């Protein structure tokens, strides 16, 4: 059941819709997360994958989570767009709910298996697109996006799925389903996250392995740079490895976002409203989750989430540690927290670290 749910969640898409890749997934989460937590009465068959004993989060983590949600709710008082705020508040509640499910879940492998199978569908669609059969044509500007709205999102989600599969020893499943999508979309943030996870793993094993992995990654990076350097930009329509315009866009967005920061934040879900009106630019996301978090929730929000993440990363190693590392690195350049599939994987993994 968990495999089926996560598979359907990963491929949820309504062709022809403007929000084809986002709306169905948020809708699924909004209904599924409370239902799963209410599982005893409503979804007894899901319960079989959940812990049967009464597992409660550690008190500190519980109160930190409550404090963050309370601060987010309080910030509705000064958010410039209450409607945006309400949506964002629901999204944060869902992440804490998913984290709780992750905490209670005995075995997360069915979830990762479902997501991997979903990524397999995405990989097939991208391969078909490259071969001239573009079944999911989204717009003039997005290529190789599969069932996501942007190739970068494909890579960042694919990397999280791949890392989760590798961490649990499901090598074949991860490599066959997620790797093609990652390689074919050329997103830099996702590749950096993958490389960092690999490095962490290698150094954890031994210094020799770490050094060898660093050397290999350096050679691969050099090869990719050379490959990209010698190809025309047109061959990289889906997601360019080296694209100065894309870097410049990010730097502009970050610079403008820095001007928006205040001690108490501008309120939950305020980024979309604050960014264009203040800085005359246009972006729905800060392209760095840390900056967007600071913009929305200010110092208290950053401190609360930062403490939660610090506590999570200080827990004993488990396979999800690698997923969280990849997620946190992606969050530097991208917005995985605000994307349904990657956000779900990140929240689930963080929740599982507290077990």
Partner 1 sequence: MIRLLLILWLLIGVAFAGTSFYAEILVSHAMRIMRETQIEAKGKPTEVVTPAMKAAFAEAMIASEEARTLAPELRYLRTWPAQLAMVDPTMPDEQAIDALQKELDKDPYNYHILLLLCLRMVHAQDVAGAQAIYARIVKQWGTENYPASTIRKLTTGIAE
Q: Which two tokens stand for residue 57?
A: 């989060």
Strand intervals (E) in the chain: none
Q: Counting contacts by CB under 8 A, is residue 70 touching partner 1?
A: no
* Binding residues with partner 1: total (CB under 8 A): 47
Q: Select 239 or 319, whichever has its Cβ closest to partner 1.
A: 239
Q: Which residues contact 275 (CB under 8 A, 6 or more apart)?
A: 253, 256, 257, 260, 281, 282, 283, 286
Q: Select 263 or 282, whichever has its Cβ closest to partner 1.
A: 282
| Residues 152/185, Cβ–Cβ less than 8 Å | yes
Dihedral (CA of 294, 298, 304, 307) sign: positive
Q: Select 200 or 271, whichever has its Cβ closest to partner 1.
A: 271
Q: Rounded to the nearest whole angstrom, what is the least distance from the CB of residue 194 to partner 1 in the complex?
A: 24
| Residues 96/71, Cβ–Cβ less than 8 Å | no
Alpha-carbon distances of 352 from 92, 105, 205, 349, rounded to whole Å: 17, 8, 22, 5
Candidates 26-34, 197-205, 298-306, 347-355; binding stretch for partner 1 (CB under 8 A)? 26-34
Between residue 100 and residue 159, which ones bind partner 1 under the rule CB under 8 A? Answer: 140-141
Candidates 1-9, 85-93, 103-111, 329-337; binding stretch for partner 1 (CB under 8 A)? 85-93
Q: Counting contacts by CB under 8 A, is residue 218 touching partner 1?
A: no
Judged by CB under 8 A, the residue of 81, 113, 187, 196 near partner 1 is: 81
| Residues 72/267, Cβ–Cβ less than 8 Å | no
| Residues 297/265, Cβ–Cβ less than 8 Å | yes
Q: Counting contacts by CB under 8 A, is residue 233 touching partner 1?
A: yes
Q: Select 29 or 344, whichever has its Cβ closest to partner 1.
A: 29
Between residue 151 and residue 210, which ones bind partner 1 under the rule CB under 8 A? Answer: none
Q: How many helices (H) and strands (E) does the chain have?
A: 17, 0
Q: Counting contacts by CB under 8 A, is residue 59 touching partner 1?
A: no
Judged by CB under 8 A, the residue of 51, 205, 237, 255 near partner 1 is: 237
Q: Rounded to the nearest whole angstrom, what is the least distance from the CB of residue 252 to partner 1 in the complex?
A: 7
Query: If DSSP codes are grouped into helix, strand and coil, which group holds residue 105?
Result: strand
Judged by CB under 8 A, the residue of 8, 37, 67, 241 near partner 1 is: 37
Q: Counting contacts by CB under 8 A, is residue 240 touching partner 1?
A: yes
CA 159, CA 36: separation in Å to the nearest integer?
26
Q: Rounded to the nearest whole angstrom, what is the least distance from the CB of residue 190 to partner 1 in the complex?
A: 19
Q: How many CB atoms lie within 10 A of CB 29?
A: 22
Q: Counting contacts by CB under 8 A, is residue 258 touching partner 1?
A: no
Judged by CB under 8 A, the residue of 132, 234, 263, 314 near partner 1 is: 234
Q: Select 69 or 121, whichever has its Cβ closest to partner 1.
A: 69
Q: Counting contacts by CB under 8 A, is residue 266 touching partner 1?
A: no
Q: DSSP assignment, residue 37?
A: H
Query: If DSSP codes are grouped into helix, strand and coil, which group holds residue 136?
Result: coil
Which contacts of 76-81 are long-range, i.e. CB under 8 A and separated by 24 or more positions? 76/267, 76/268, 77/267, 78/264, 78/266, 78/267, 79/266, 79/267, 79/268, 79/269, 79/270, 80/266, 80/267, 80/270, 80/273, 80/274, 80/277, 81/269, 81/270, 81/272, 81/273
Candidates 20-28, 45-53, 164-172, 219-227; binding stretch for partner 1 (CB under 8 A)? 20-28
Q: Counting contacts by CB under 8 A, is residue 246 touching partner 1?
A: yes
Q: How many CB atoms lie within 10 A of CB 278?
A: 14
List contacts with partner 1 (CB under 8 A).
14, 16-19, 22-23, 26-31, 33-35, 37-38, 81, 83-84, 87, 90, 93-94, 97, 140-141, 233-234, 236-237, 240, 243, 245-246, 248-249, 252, 269, 272, 276, 280-284
């Amino acid at each position: 059941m968990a495999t089926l749910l996560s598979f359907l969640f990963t491929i949820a898409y309504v062709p022809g819709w403007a929000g084809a890749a986002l709306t169905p997934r948020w809708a699924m989460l909004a209904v599924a997360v409370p239902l799963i937590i209410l599982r005893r009465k409503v979804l007894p068959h899901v319960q079989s994958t959940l812990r049967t004993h009464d597992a409660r989060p550690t008190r500190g983590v519980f109160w930190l989570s409550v404090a963050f949600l309370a601060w987010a709710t309080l910030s509705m008082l000064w958010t410039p767009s209450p409607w945006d705020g309400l949506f964002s508040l629901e999204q944060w509640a869902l992440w804490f709910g998913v984290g709780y499910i992750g905490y209670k879940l005995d075995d997360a492998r069915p979830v990762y298996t479902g997501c991997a199978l979903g990524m397999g569908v995405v990989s097939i669609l991208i391969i078909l697109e490259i071969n001239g059969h573009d079944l999911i044509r989204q717009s003039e500007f997005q290529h190789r996006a599969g069932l996501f709205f942007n190739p970068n999102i494909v890579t960042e989600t694919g990397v999280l799925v791949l890392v989760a599969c590798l961490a649990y020893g499901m090598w074949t499943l991860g490599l066959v389903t997620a790797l093609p999508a990652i390689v074919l979309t050329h997103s830099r943030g996702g590749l950096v996250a993958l490389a960092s996870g690999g490095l962490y793993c290698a150094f954890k094993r031994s210094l020799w392995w770490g050094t060898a992995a660093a050397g290999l990654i350096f050679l691969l990076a050099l090869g990719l740079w050379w490959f990209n350097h010698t190809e025309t930009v047109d061959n990289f329509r889906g997601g360019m490895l080296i694209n100065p315009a894309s870097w410049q866009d990010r730097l502009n967005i970050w610079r403008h976002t820095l001007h928006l920061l205040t001690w108490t934040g501008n309120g939950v879900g305020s980024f979309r409203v604050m960014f264009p009106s203040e800085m005359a630019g246009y972006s729905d996301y800060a392209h760095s989750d840390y900056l967007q978090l600071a913009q929305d929730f200010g110092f208290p929000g950053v401190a609360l989430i930062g403490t939660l993440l610090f506590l999570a990363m200080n827990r004993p190693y488990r396979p999800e540690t690698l997923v969280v590392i990849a997620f946190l690195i992606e969050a530097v350049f991208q917005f995985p927290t605000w994307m349904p599939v990657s956000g779900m994987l990140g929240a689930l993994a963080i929740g599982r670290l507290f077990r």
